[in-house]
């Protein structure tokens, strides 16, 4: 008789019904394997579906695909420009007014996308001018530089959204029609 490599007390604890047969192992491993293969896909589908409940925030407003929160903007500005308490008190209603106006524009169904963007731009320009008046010379200079960068970045992004063919005609659109070279 061959000597077992597993001591008796371990065998009785780990395998109370004896060593598993190949058939029992297959019965156990097959469903386990299927579940382990399907579980990541199920989790990905569950995460990609939108949440059925929508939580409304009273302090922030959705603007396009972004959420604008006047209070968060004030905190950002206070940190970026080292605002005093007096400046924060004066700028807060300006930002809140911008938030309210932009939200009202977003609710106006009669505006086309370009009209809405233009109107939001005008509201933002007014806000920048009003906020600038509350800043010191150094703060105002830095604020206007940041706004110029933001405007340029915004302009660059809208230039990229024309959905036309890429420069040079794109794939197959160059001189010669797009076949393989030499044909």
pLDDT tens digits, one per residue of 62-121: 545 456 688 999 999 999 999 999 999 999 999 999 999 988 888 888 988 888 888 988
List the structure tokens of 37.
């293969």
What is the reported pTM? 0.52
Instruction: Give 2-23 pLDDT, tens digit per residue.
Output: 566 666 655 555 555 555 555 5
Q: Is 145 helix (H, G, I), strand (E, B) or coil?
A: helix
List the structure tokens of 34.
């299927």
List the structure tokens of 23.
């058939």
**Rounded to whole angstroms, how far apart are CA atoms 49 and 69?**
26
Are 92 and 74 in contact by the 8 Å Cβ rule? The answer is yes
Instruction: Give 158-168 pLDDT, tens digit per residue.
Output: 666 555 555 65
């Amino acid at each position: 008789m061959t000597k077992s490599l597993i001591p008796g007390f371990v065998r009785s604890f780990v395998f109370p019904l004896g060593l598993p047969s190949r058939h029992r192992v297959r019965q156990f491993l097959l469903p386990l394997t299927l579940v382990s293969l399907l579980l990541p896909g199920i989790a990905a589908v569950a995460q990609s579906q939108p949440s059925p409940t929508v939580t409304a925030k009273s302090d922030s407003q959705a603007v396009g695909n972004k959420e604008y929160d006047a209070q968060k903007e004030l905190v950002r500005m206070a940190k970026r420009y080292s605002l005093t308490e007096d400046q924060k008190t004066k700028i807060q209603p300006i930002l809140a007014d911008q938030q309210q106006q932009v939200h009202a524009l977003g609710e106006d169904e009669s505006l086309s996308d370009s009209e809405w963007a233009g109107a939001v731009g005008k509201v933002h320009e007014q806000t920048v001018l009003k906020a600038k008046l509350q800043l010191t010379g150094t703060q105002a200079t830095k604020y206007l530089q940041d706004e110029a960068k933001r405007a340029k970045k915004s302009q660059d992004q809208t230039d990229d959204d024309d959905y036309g063919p890429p420069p040079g005609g794109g794939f197959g659109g160059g001189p010669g029609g797009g076949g393989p070279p030499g044909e």
